[in-house]
Structure 1
Amino acid sequence: MLLRAALTSFRRGETLAAQPVSASVDVSLKHLAAYNSVCGFGLRDALPLTYPHVLGFPLQMKLMSGPGFPFPLPGLVHVANRITQARPLTADEPLEITVSARDLRPHPQGTQVDVVTSISGVWEGVSTYLRRGGGASSTGEQLERPVASAVWRVPADIGRRYGAASGDRNPIHLHPLSAKVFGFKRAIAHGMWTKARCLAALEGRLPEAVTVDVRFKKPLLVPGRVEFSASENGGGWEFAVWGKGPHVLGSTS
């Protein structure tokens, strides 16, 4: 998979022509338990809200490394993720997964596209990816640091542990040396691990039908110490993870 991703480095496409890919998937209880452990979820019949994302990850990679996807995978930045579920999925039901790409559009720092994972008509995840280039650098938002609800210490091996559970073994997450090749001082935590960790902290407090939006901001270098905040707001939740600056900003509705 990593080799296929590397071979996309020569792409210079400007159009989106990737065709949807689909598969039927059964949940492995062993795999689910490993995911729950690394993200902090309890063991329940219902799948954690973020777990279907990792079930669809092989199809996401197949689509993004296949013909018709306009961007090379190296250097692509995951800037946002939105998950909507009509009801919780359960570990004993067969799942039909379809992954597609849509809405190629300009961004102040380049071009972005949505990769959409749909499961059994009741769960949808939209990951927005940015290809930098040709745009002005970001001036940065003026954000107020929220009051911390908890302090988390993120271990140095979280990228390797989450990579084993999710299948996402991007070198920037695995080891300081491989991360430095891509310009990072140390390895960085997966954005989707950070989102999952936030939702694990809110477990039992979200409705069964829910939408969770996050924006990924500054990379979370590991090992690290971060503050998690969460507050109710108009029937939903606002949550965030901060270090020296914001790493994740999220909301539920």
Structure 2
Amino acid sequence: MMEIDALIQQVLEKFAKRSQELTQGDPDNYPFGTNIEQRLTPAMNQYRDLMQRHAADLLPRLKALTWVFRMYINEDYRVTYAFDIKSLGTILNKDELEADTFDPTKVRVSTYNAYDWKCNKLVADAYAVGAGVGLSIAKNLGGTKIKGNGYPAAHECHGNTCYLWAPQANELAKSDRNLRSFTNARVPRARSDAAAQPEVGDIMAFPTEGGLGHSSLYLGKKLIISAKTDGIEIETEEFETEMHDGKARLRKFTGSGK
């Protein structure tokens, strides 16, 4: 677990550096919520404990979060998910998509370009590529899958060129929106509902009426990590909930990735 210890240390150092950049030397003025620094070390300790406990068979949600941490500490990758930068992605031709040799674990969502919100892309890439569960691709998000039982994505082909997209945060947050490979959307921490209890690496979505909402991965201690305007950032769950009319929804990945 020495690699995990090193990763945790890099995340903490990266956060301290980003905090200083964002607050211009005033650590009490972090723009994405209060008490983040006080929560971050306990949250990372919880993450370490889970990684040790599940070392023999890592859960997809832990693999996804580890991948996002690696994106976060690498400046080149962190800003790939910034609002105004064209993102890394995969554009397929139709023959590749339909081939028996198609590997959905190597394909990133391709349709979030410059000036598109990247939060949805980051979460999808984290599970599909980072967790290795692949994309479950259909003509539409609720349709019959083409490949895999992984993170839901849809595709559209223009001629021989095919584009992929993942659920928007508003779709993730709709309780009546059935998305394969996910539990139904829940209000976080609803009593007597085991599927409503956030676990490290779970998906948290914040809906917006008339907008696109926001999606993230749960970090623990009511912290989340997501793609913001300037790239991947750590923030508080309360901040995003307040920004989205007091609404937050939780989804858990249930797919096998097969």
Report the TM-score, using the length of structure 2 for normalisation: 0.29
Greater percentage in strand: 1
Report the TM-score, using the length of structure 1 for normalisation: 0.29
Greater percentage in helix: 2
